[in-house]
Amino acid sequence: MDINFNINEDAMKTAYSQVRQRLEKIYEGGGKKAVEKQRERNKLTARERIEYLCDDDTPFVEIGAFAGFEMYAEHGGCPAGGTVSGIGYIGGRQCVVVANDQTVKAGAWFPITGKKNLRMQEIAMENNLPVVYLVDSAGVYLPLQDEIFPDKEHFGRIFRNNARMSAMGITQIAAVMGPCVAGGAYLPIMSDETLMVEGNGSIFLAGPYLVKAAIGEETDNETLGGAVTHTSISGIADYKFDTERDCLDQVKKIIGQLALPATAGFNRTKPVLPKRAAQNIYGILNEGNTRPYDVLDLIECITDEGSFDQFKADYGKTIVCGYGRIDGWAVGIVANQRLVVKSKKGEMQLGGVIYNDSSDKAARFILNCNQKKIPLVFLQDVTGFMVGSRSEHSGIIKDGAKMVNAVANSVVPKFTFIIGNSYGAGNYAMCGKAYDPRLIFAWPTAKIAVMGGEQAAKTLLQIQVASLKAKGETITPENEKELLDTIVKRYQQQTTPYYAAARLWVDGIIDPLETRTMISEGISAANNNSDIAAFKTGVFQV
């Protein structure tokens, strides 16, 4: 190991340490006082419920832990979007689990809460996974109701998806452990089975105060919509339990009785450890990602030893493509190469940039993986497509469109990891969020933006200076520097993985060591859905 490796390793570990510190704060939910109130009512927290429900010593892939991070400050914040969710094992069966966090604004739905819940339903539908809802919510957060209630991708879409998933044969179980109010009352009732905890769980369209105001009736939570009411009078709920653990035990029992799904048949052999020690993955990227590195070193850290075969190794060298295995699963890997390399014509090509030949190669490789039904893994560290008159005359837009077409029409599961830069159309071609990756994660080193910070800041500065001069204002070098510093600061904040994860542009920020596990768990989930569409590419220029 050289000194640069050690420096890189320290920088990556420090970066992930910052992620962990922020996660620990997020895991506190609404804070200690709110958790204590849960305890007083004999209630577990959302994370405790999931821990009890899921099998011991199995992975839980949390989705959206950073949802809402540093958003809604004027409303007191919304840690993890007010829900805890992910893919876990219950009775040996992979399931999607969504748990309201009652310690965060009584589990009320912020706009990001709706987006996160829709993401979880999307994951369930794509992978044919059963869903368990652990319900404990006061309903829509009224101060922001216009941003969560009426639009297509808002609150109501949750119930539409409940109905669609039921029609698809996806099992949905709702365990009501607290309030389930107003429109939210439809979620458990549109699930296959509804379980309630007596004394805490309640379901009603309008609570006692609203009932009093609307029709003058005096009532209380239990009489109006408690567990006894809904299991013995309305017939809405199917089971009632004295404790949350009893309720969760019944959920385990129900899931344990489900028939096994028909699988997609993705190829898997006995897993083999990677050639390079897992810890080596920390030392590959340098701090700030300013120096080139060989992405093949990274691939050796995540693929089973001896399994990786490069496709067109001597052509289109700024993208590495190849077949390999990860934890035994057959995969196709598409990765940006950050080394400065020689092209077929002997010209030097910049690493991280997609050229005509790289784009052609990647498009063809993606077609091959779809033909063979091999899942795709994208490792993003891309600064975009090559620009300039020479590239334009060579048809870079046409060649880039081929790659985008192949990614967009790909029918095999895709998994994306943003390990470094993710700029401009390179984000799209390398299967960014808009291209439906089954899972998409960022490393702590990720940067996501329409272009690099320096280029963007200078472009924005030129526009602002021209605008001010047009108004007759005098711009001094000091004014320009102040404007540039302001632009750079704002732009840098918007390119961080935290900014992306807060808005669910990525499913989370992971420890690079987790990359191999996330891919394996993702393919395992995808294998539950045997319904793979026919691959068609449509029309594209040649």
* pLDDT on residue 1: 56
How far apart are alpha carbons 421 and 496 in whole angstroms?
10
* Backbone φ/ψ region at 194: left (φ over 0), alpha (ψ -120 to 50), beta: beta
Q: Are residues 349 and 359 in contact, defined by beta-carbon separation less than 8 angstroms?
A: no
Structure tokens given for 201: 């769980």
Closest CA to 108 of 156, 159, 144, 153: 144
Q: CB burial class (10 A; 0-12, 13-18, 19+) of residue 259?
A: exposed
Q: Are residues 356 and 391 in contact, defined by beta-carbon separation less than 8 angstroms?
A: yes
* Backbone φ/ψ region at 91: left (φ over 0), alpha (ψ -120 to 50), beta: left
Q: For 286, which DSSP code?
A: P
How far apart are alpha carbons 408 and 213 in whole angstroms?
52
Query: For 399-436, how does the pLDDT look when each residue is reduced to its tens digit (9 = 90+)?
Result: 899 999 999 999 999 999 999 999 989 999 999 999 99
* pLDDT on residue 391: 85
How far apart are alpha carbons 334 and 378 in whole angstroms?
5
Structure tokens given for 266: 């993705």
DSSP code per residue over 335-363 = EE--S-EE-TTS-EE-TTEE-HHHHHHHH
Q: What distance lies between CA 495 and its chain's CA centroid? A: 16
How far apart are alpha carbons 155 and 145 in whole angstroms?
10
Residue type, 249: D
How far apart are alpha carbons 104 and 37 in whole angstroms?
12
Beta strands in 360-455 (DSSP E): 376-382, 384-385, 414-423, 439-442, 447-449
How far apart are alpha carbons 385 and 319 in whole angstroms?
11
Backbone angles phi, psi at 60, to 5 degrees: -120, 110
* pLDDT on residue 353: 93
Q: What is the pTM of this model?
A: 0.94
Q: Are residues 168 and 134 in contact, defined by beta-carbon separation less than 8 angstroms?
A: no
Predicted confidence pLDDT, tens digits, the chain (542 residues) = 588 899 999 999 999 999 999 999 999 999 999 999 999 999 999 999 999 999 999 999 999 999 999 999 999 999 999 999 999 999 999 999 999 999 999 999 999 999 999 999 999 999 999 999 999 998 888 899 999 888 888 989 999 999 999 999 999 999 999 999 877 788 999 999 999 999 999 999 888 888 888 999 999 889 999 999 999 999 999 999 999 999 999 999 999 999 999 999 999 999 999 999 989 999 999 988 889 999 999 999 999 999 999 999 999 999 999 999 999 999 999 999 999 888 777 778 888 899 999 999 999 999 999 999 999 999 999 999 988 888 888 888 898 999 999 999 999 999 999 999 999 899 999 999 999 999 999 999 999 988 766 676 777 777 877 777 788 877 777 777 777 777 777 777 889 999 999 999 999 999 999 999 999 999 999 999 999 989 988 887 77
* pLDDT on residue 185: 85
For residue 90, list its beta bridge partners.
93
* pLDDT on residue 481: 79
How far apart are alpha carbons 168 and 98 in whole angstroms?
19
* pLDDT on residue 453: 65
Three-state SS sequence of 302-341: HCCCCCCEEECCCCCCCEEEEEEEECCEEEEEEEECCCCE
Q: Which residue, chain included where needed, has tokens 């334009």?
A: 392
